[in-house]
Structure 1
Amino acid sequence: MNPSAQPPDWDPRSADVQRGPIRAYDEVAQRCPVAFSDMLQWSVFRHADVMRVLLDPATFSNAVSRHVAVPNGMDPPLHTAYRQVIEPYFSAQRVDAFEPACHAIADVLAQALQGAGEVELMESFALPFAVRAQCAFMGWPQALHAPLVSWLHKSQAATLAQDRPALAALAQEFDGIVEGLLQTRRQAGAAAPHDLTTALMQETVNGAPLSAADITSILRNWTVGEIGTIAAAVGILAQWLAGHGDVQAQLRAHSALVPAAIEEILRLHGPLATNRRVTTCPVELGGRSIAAGDRLTIHWTSANRDGRVFDQPDTFQLDRDQSANLLYGAGIHVCPGAPLARMELRVALQALLAATTQWQAAPGGGAVPAVYPASGFSSLRLRVQ
């Protein structure tokens, strides 16, 4: 069946979905595990179906975009070659070396919340932390902090609206930002800063230097992916803990529990809503017949709340086995930046806990869900003590 003729099973843009996306995804997953919509085509919700997609890149291709997407939009063997270049940038040694700088960023932002009373956490901590940490990791100047925040907001709005002219203009805008950074380093020659961006300019794949388009795509992927998901994750962690003062107290008393708490809270509500795939051949999935060339959308949080895999999936269990948690994906496209993300989230949450005695939702609720394709919260008002 032509996808355009397929009757929709749900509407991701509906007001009901936008008001409570996690609840809405859970409901669709129960009645229609592989569901069709005009916006997303085939949505995959169950853990087993998601794993099938992740572990079969020959059938479910990542080459979903008309534009260069390195390496996320590639399949083997090209994907394999680029991953070999990228993975060392997130080595334990590099992440450990960056941790003190990350602590400094988080501590300054967290200490600024002391005595503030009511705060809007996304704009006062979560997003600034994500932007400053990412720029510091890549060696980018502080002058880019505000433009990157603005660019991210515009990109999310254009993606929701499916405004292709706006998305094209935003791609050009980001290309211009990166080209300015690269040109500065080219002109500096041997005096260029010894940072991640300069190092990336020296890389080769299959014996050939990375092209400017390759470098721009890699940096766009790292920037958009890292800033958006880290900011969303920090907001999700803070919002959940605002309603669980007992866990806050437990984490303040036992900081070694923070990493496990982060994994479990973000299993309940993930910072990345979806990823896309495209079928290379006809396939049956979840009882649905999907044609070659159809688009699939993986819903990460729904898979992570699947009761077939996670006992009492709606409950927080600090000692839960996280081996099936898809927070960072699985298979050949598992997130290469997971070590960096885990460190940044641990540092951010530890800084918030250390700078406060407690926080709770501000009067009136305080949490406004982010609009798809973003996850987490667009606004999060907290009372901080």
Structure 2
Amino acid sequence: MTTPTPWNPQDAEVQRDQRAAYDALRERCPLAHSQAHQTSVLRHAEVMQVLLDHATFSSAVSAHPAVPNGYDQPQHTAYRRALDPFFAPERMARFEPVCRALCAATVQEALALGGALEVMQEFALPFAVRVQSAFLGWPTLLQDELLQWLRRSQQATRSGERAQTAAVAQEFEDLVARVCQARRGAPPTQDVSCELMHTQVDGRPLDLRELASVLRNWTVGEVGTIAASIGILLHWLASHPDWQQRLRGEPALLALAIDEILRIDGPLVANRRITTRATELGGCPLPAGERISINWIAANRDPRVFGDADAFRIDRDPELNLLYGAGIHVCPGAPLARLELRILMEEVLARTTRITLDTSHAPTRAVAPDAGWATLRLTLA
């Protein structure tokens, strides 16, 4: 038996480059322990064990509703049965023209302003809010309010103050209540938000807290990872001009390329689990009630599975890529995220001749709970 490697997420090394720190940590031990993150699972094999053994590693880690993936069976199954149709292929095909028009307009706006961007705040985050709002059928004024709320939420999360985080959570529930009130009596076909209000689970409609949880997941959760993904993708394209040109000429390769780029540099740090009974993982004993953190970035760079993990290879087995998770809790919004990222990159590449980094402003890495880039300046031309 072994014990998890102790580590401190606040160490300067981790703050400077969490991706490199996770790589080093993973090679020392499959598990690591910190006061903040409890037990982090770092290697691909152990992460898969956690994902597939949902009886031992429960997803019910929060006292608040987290619909759907914060539940175990049978509740999880009932919620997924009700919500997965929102991301069915025919729904994605219906949303694609709306998404493409928004992507094209976003790129054209950036070019009209000269193409010099601070990507994260001026391009990635506003686009992510707009496209998720468009999917839900939310008006422009509500998009602006959501963007402002997201920035307050990020500040509250970083503060570590429970009163502050509780206050911004209540703000979001109030926003959802206003969205629902405005749609009372509207037909379910008006927009996705209306349809969601008419969606039933086990023969009953979702209550306000469940609606708030779903909409928070579809906005806050998606916006953060979509924005991080956009920054990672644009930085990679700017850093690899040969592939940038090849993907302009062969856009059919984009879907595979995007998933591989985001395997190398992940947009989401971790998800949580809790043990339901005493168990063993990676040769380490774990008691019942142990808090687990699945480190997606470390697992997706595990050289035991991805030889030469930093190398970009679109011929890798896509089933091994944990970008959207695996098992019954695989990300339900993966089809939407893939659609949005692919179309945005298609429009960026089609409407530019080059994407270059601004060498006068070195990019800075995000720190957990964020991933990717905190600041990134580049030029679209």
TM-score range, shorter chain: over 0.9
d(CA) in 1 for partners of 2:253 and 2:192? Answer: 31
Number of equivalent positions:
378
Q: What is the CA distance between 1:90 and its match in structure 2? A: 0.3
Matches within 5 A, 1:41-120: 41-114=38-111, 116-120=114-118
Deviations 1:228-254 (A, max 9, x none): 111110110001111100000000011
Q: What is the CA distance between 1:126 and its match in structure 2? A: 1.1
Tell me whether 1:234 sits opposite 2:230 in the alignment: yes
Q: What is the CA distance between 1:286 and its match in structure 2? A: 1.6
Q: Match of 1:313, SS?
A: coil
Deviations 1:340-365 (A, max 9, x none): 11110001111111121111211235
Sort the Cα spacing of 1:173 and 1:108 in 2 relative to 1 into closer, same or farther, 3 A: same
Tell me whether 1:306 sits opposite 2:302 in the alignment: yes
d(CA) in 2 for partners of 1:155 and 1:17? Answer: 23
Q: Does the CA contact (< 8 Å) of 2:199 and 2:205 recur in 1?
A: yes
Q: Does the CA contact (< 8 Å) of 2:129 and 2:143 recur in 1?
A: yes
Matching residue within 209, 215, 221 for 2:211: 215
Q: Match of 1:95, SS?
A: helix
Q: What is the CA distance between 1:274 and its match in structure 2? A: 0.5
d(CA) in 1 for partners of 2:110 and 2:223? Answer: 21
Partner of 1:264: 260
Deviations 1:242-275 (A, max 9, x none): 1100000000011111111101100001111110
Q: What is the CA distance between 1:123 and its match in structure 2? A: 2.2
Q: Match of 1:26, SS?
A: helix
**Which stretch of structure 1 is more off in the superposition, 234-243 or 318-327?**
318-327
**Which stretch of structure 1 is more off in the superposition, 119-128 or 148-157?**
148-157
Partner of 1:201: 197
d(CA) in 2 for partners of 1:332 and 1:157? Answer: 32
Q: Does the CA contact (< 8 Å) of 2:4 and 2:31 recur in 1?
A: no
Deviations 1:276-317 (A, max 9, x none): 001111111122221111110001121111111112111011
Matching residue within 126, 129, 133 for 2:127: 129
Matching residue within 272, 279, 284 for 1:276: 272
List 4+ stretches of structure 1 deviating above 6 A: none
Q: Match of 1:307, SS?
A: coil
**Which stretch of structure 1 is more off in the superposition, 53-62 or 146-155?**
146-155
Matching residue within 245, 249, 253 for 1:253: 249
Q: Match of 1:172, SS?
A: helix
The alignment-based identity, stated in percent, is 52
Matches within 5 A, 1:131-150: 131-150=129-148
Deviations 1:73-112 (A, max 9, x none): 1100011001000000001111110111111111111112
Deviations 1:140-176 (A, max 9, x none): 1111222222222332333344321111111101001
Q: What is the CA distance between 1:196 and its match in structure 2? A: 0.7
d(CA) in 2 for partners of 1:191 and 1:324? Answer: 42
Deviations 1:25-80 (A, max 9, x none): 10111112200001100000100000000001111001111111111211000110
d(CA) in 2 for partners of 1:364 and 1:21? Answer: 23
d(CA) in 1 for partners of 2:103 and 2:240? Answer: 22
The one-letter code matched in structure 2 to 1:149 is: L
Partner of 1:170: 168
d(CA) in 1 for partners of 2:122 and 2:180? Answer: 30
The RMSD of aligned alpha carbons is 1.6
d(CA) in 1 for partners of 2:4 and 2:281? Answer: 17
d(CA) in 2 for partners of 1:85 and 1:107? Answer: 32
d(CA) in 2 for partners of 1:82 and 1:117? Answer: 43
Matching residue within 321, 325, 328 for 2:324: 328
Q: Does the CA contact (< 8 Å) of 2:133 and 2:139 recur in 1?
A: yes
Q: Match of 2:280, SS?
A: strand
Q: Does the CA contact (< 8 Å) of 1:360 and 1:382 recur in 2?
A: yes
**Which stretch of structure 1 is more off in the superposition, 176-185 or 110-119?**
110-119
Sort the Cα spacing of 1:48 and 1:263 in 2 relative to 1 into closer, same or farther, 3 A: same
The one-letter code matched in structure 1 to 2:172 is: F
